Amino acid sequence: MIPLTFYLGLAALLFSIGLYGVMTNKNGIRMIMCIELMLNSANLNLVAFSSYTDTLNGQVFAIFSIALAAAEAAVGFAIFMAIYRMHDKINLDELNILRW
Amino acid sequence: MENLMFLAPELAVVATGLIVLLIGVFMSPQTKNMLGYLATLGVLAALALTIQSFGTEATMFFGTLSIDALSQFFKLVFLAVSLIVSLASIKYNENSDHTEEFYSLVLFATFGMMVVASANDLILLFCAFELASLATFALAGFEKRNARSLEGAMKYFIIGAISSALMLFGISYVYGATGTTSIPMIAENATLLAENPIGLVAVVLLIAGFGFKMALVPFHMWAPDAYQGSPSVVSSLLAAGSKKMGFVAAFRVFIVALAALQPDWQLAFTILAVVTMTFGNVVAVSQTSVKRMLAYSSLAQAGYIAMAFVVMTPMALTGGIFYTLAHAFMKAGAFIAAGAVVWMITSQKTGNLDIPDHLDSFRGLGKRMPLAALCMTVFVFALAGIPPTAGFMAKLVLFSSTIQAGMTWLAVIAILNSALSLFYYARLVRYMYFLPPEGKKIGMPFPYAAALLLAVAGVLAMGIWPEPFMQWAMDAAQVLI
């Protein structure tokens, strides 16, 4: 059996990649992809823990969070769509009317 | 079958939301105006049901939902905000084609916040958190042809999504170390978490996740943009409602579930509280947009409430919980008053149309809209903590309990901050009453007037006759200790 730490390490790595991507990317679609990566790394954690602690809460939680991630992406894309109609691109660096 | 009557307020809110959405589809924009009154009635019914069920205690759905003094108190906060917002939105949505969407989103967000208040399980807590967040993301970008609204919504969405990812990752570690997602069970197994190195990582991730929602510095970047860009009624819901949702979740998760790690998170909250109140007040001084100034002052207020996590005596928790209700009335009212001014500027088509909530729009407001100016004065003085308002009572309890607990330095910082905040609040009052008006007198629309008077009534009632509210807050604090 693969040790638990391997799963945790993979999840932590994916989470860090996602967080790095959100902080450095300027394109809205890529940002949503990175956020999905962060959410899915948490799901990986939940399922791994669920299997190693012999409780089912984690798997149930993972199913809920997959559904929520889909809903979140839908709302996010709707907002980006509206921005795209107005600016013809989704470069988040150029949205800077509101500051200080 | 469990007694669904315990859930009556939630069911009333969600049923109203569904009815509004369904019947709104078949109505013309003119007849849709009545949907606002319908939504207000639904919230009012839920409010009555909540007040009537004060003092009941129950757990439902296999212990995932608990009805206790804390949950009832915060439901009162959310429903009061929702009532003020739905009333004011009647004018905001007048003859709009999207009234039913607006109201159903407001009601679903309220429902999510109410479930967060009574969630006793991390799965339910996370789902309800997301329900409220998703509805408010959509509301923040509701004016889809307004570049400011969209920009605010985009920033709010990105940061909100990151915060929920951080929270979920932290929760997954808590679950891994304790083997359960139920909050009381985690509290029982908390020593497992304290011994495990991932417990500390989980605390950091959870503080970041909830910190974004509570808009504590340095997790605040979205708040000023989202509050300024969104329609004023939505800013009111965000600042007064959605922020309190972060607090009630943090109360339950940190104080009840993660009590074993108290030294760790207490240190973090000490730093966050001090930095937040100072940063918020200092930056608010230089703002020219009133909504943005209110956003920064809202950061500062969150810093005061976060002092409850630092002091942690029963009296301080009472003060913090009392403060959330006081802040809900003051902030919701202040944003609605700003919304009335924005309405005046855009409907008159004179003045700074690009930034309708600019300080200059408030020149001589005492003559142009006497009621809005008077209410705004009450709200800003309450935010500054001047008697006989709710803000004064809340600050009195919170700061004196801090001194009693021997943390005089923290109380001194907080009091100095309150003094600083008086500067920018008084400047707004000077603009409203001592500068000449730049236009003629405008009649106040009934929905705005009703919402403002309701908020003023709340602020004054809590200041003049605080005993019942204080007793409720005390009962709520008992749940945590």
> What are the boundaries of each domain within chain B?
4-480
Mutate to test the interface with B, among A13, A40, A68 (most CBs of B within 10 A): A68
Cα–Cα distance between B269 and B255 in angstroms, integer? 12
pLDDT of residue B35: 92
3-state secondary structure of B218: coil
Cα–Cα distance between A1 and B315 in angstroms, integer? 52
Spell out which residues of chain B touch residue A68, defining contact as CB-CB under 8 Å: 126-127, 130, 164
Contact B166 A28 (CB under 8 A): no
Asked if the C-beta of B354 comes within 8 angstroms of chain A's C-beta atoms, the answer is no
Cα–Cα distance between B210 and A74 in angstroms, integer? 23
pLDDT of residue B348: 85
Strand runs labelled E in B286-369:
none
Instruction: Name the DSSP class of B349.
Output: T
B129 neighbors B167 (Cβ within 8 angstroms): yes
Cα–Cα distance between B383 and B48 in angstroms, integer? 27
Domains of chain A: 4-94 (1.10.287.3510)
One-letter amino acid identity for B293?
M
Peptide bond between residue B370 and the one before it cis (omega within 30 degrees of 0): no
**What is the predicted ipTM?**
0.95
End-to-end, the C-alpha distance of chain B in Å comes to: 31
Q: What percent of chain A has pLDDT over 70?
A: 98
For B67-80, what is each residue's pLDDT tens digit?
999 999 999 999 99
Among A residues 33-62, those touching chain B with beta carbons less than 8 Å apart: 35, 38-39, 41-42, 45-46, 48-49, 52-53, 55, 57-58, 60-61
Contact A57 B181 (CB under 8 A): yes
Kindly report the number of other CB atoms within 10 A of residue B270's CB atom: 17
Mutate to test the interface with A, among B64, B168, B293 (most CBs of A within 10 A): B168
Cα–Cα distance between B63 and B2 in angstroms, integer? 11
Strand partners, B59: B66
| Cβ–Cβ pairs < 8 A, chains A and B | 125
Tell me if the pTM is above 0.90: yes
Handedness of CA B334, B361, B278, B212 (dihedral sign): positive
pLDDT of residue B1: 47
**How big is chain A, counted in residues?**
100
Spell out which residues of chain B touch residue A55, defining contact as CB-CB under 8 Å: 179-180
Contact B172 A72 (CB under 8 A): no
Spell out which residues of chain B touch residue A92, defining contact as CB-CB under 8 Å: 154, 158
Q: Which of A41, A55, A79 is closest, CB to CB, to B150?
A: A79
Q: Which of B154, B162, B166 is closest, CB to CB, to A83?
A: B154
Cα–Cα distance between B144 and B171 in angstroms, integer? 34
Q: Which of A46, A68, A82 is closest, CB to CB, to B141?
A: A82
A86 neighbors B147 (Cβ within 8 angstroms): yes
Q: What percent of chain A has pLDDT over 90?
A: 70
B387 neighbors B463 (Cβ within 8 angstroms): yes
3-state secondary structure of B82: helix
pLDDT of residue B356: 86
Cα–Cα distance between B308 and B312 in angstroms, integer? 6
Residue at token pair 């409203």: B432
For B312-364, what is each residue's pLDDT tens digit?
999 999 999 999 999 999 999 999 999 999 999 888 887 777 888 888 889 98
One-letter amino acid identity for B348?
Q
Instruction: Name the DSSP class of A80.
Output: H
pLDDT at A79 over 60: yes
Contact A75 B134 (CB under 8 A): yes
Contact B153 A79 (CB under 8 A): yes
Closest residue in A to B142 (Cα) is A79
pLDDT of residue B157: 94
Closest CA to B424 of B281, B231, B224: B281
User: Which segments in chain B show pLDDT lower than 50?
Assistant: 1
pLDDT at A50 over 80: yes
Q: Which of A55, A68, A97 is closest, CB to CB, to B148?
A: A97
pLDDT at A100 over 60: no
Compute the nearest-CA separation of B311 from chain A (Å).
32
B318 neighbors B470 (Cβ within 8 angstroms): yes
Handedness of CA B263, B265, B271, B276 (dihedral sign): negative
Closest CA to A72 of B158, B91, B179: B158
pLDDT at A97 over 80: no
Closest CA to A92 of B135, B218, B150: B150
B187 neighbors B195 (Cβ within 8 angstroms): no
Rounded to 5 degrees, φ, ψ at B91 are -75, -40
Compute the nearest-CA separation of B163 from chain A (Å).
10
